[in-house]
Amino acid sequence: SDLQKQEERGELLQPLIFVLLVLCSILLYFKVSLMDPGFVKPEEEEGEDKGQGVVTPLIPGDIKLRRCGYCLVKQPMRAKHCQVCQHCVRRYDHHCPWLENCVGERNHPLFIVYLSVQLVVLLWGGHVAWSGLYFEPSREWLQHNILLLVSFLLIFIFTIVVLLLLVSHLYLISCNTTTWEFMSHHRISYLRHSELENPFDQGIILNLWRFFC
């Protein structure tokens, strides 16, 4: 049959991979949006100091961990209270309105994977949309291809947005800083009073290793 011939030529493999990538992107979206980003819990306060050994020597000794004025928990270093989630989040990066969840210590690596898969899907979809366009200077052509043209423009816009997000996050990860720390450096006490511009930076390779591994 025609279906068997297409399968033998490998013509069904690419659509199958594309569908699997879309499903993977959807699953990652729900995983990142529904998981705990690293909420600070009151019962964990006793062990906070133990987890700060890596960064404490680089921070001035007169800076003490403070209690959150909203949820009253003792904030670990690099944590921040999210007004939307109403929780303090460990290694807070930002609150993503698209995910309706914070990006923090626990889900930040998966967030990067989600952006990467999403970028591949958008690039592939853009290639498919572009390959279906053939340009003719006529009104009839525009009427028959308007949906395909609009789809390509939307895919192009989303691709640029996702690409910029992914590149910016990878840059910040390579420096071992967060979006919040990068944007609010002058307002964060442990950065403002530190002798180093970024006391957490341990080199690109080690920063990436600690983040992803």
Residues with catalytic function: 96
| Distance (Å, whole) CA 39 – CA 37 | 6
For the four alpha carbons of 26, 27, 29 and 30, in that order, the dihedral sign comes to positive
For residue 9, give Cα distances in angstroms to 3, 110, 132.
10, 35, 21
Distance CA 89, CA 106 (A): 9
The CA–CA distances, whole Å, from 140 to 29, 89, 126, 136, 145 equal 39, 55, 23, 9, 9
User: Are the CB atoms for 202 and 173 separated by under 8 Å?
Assistant: no
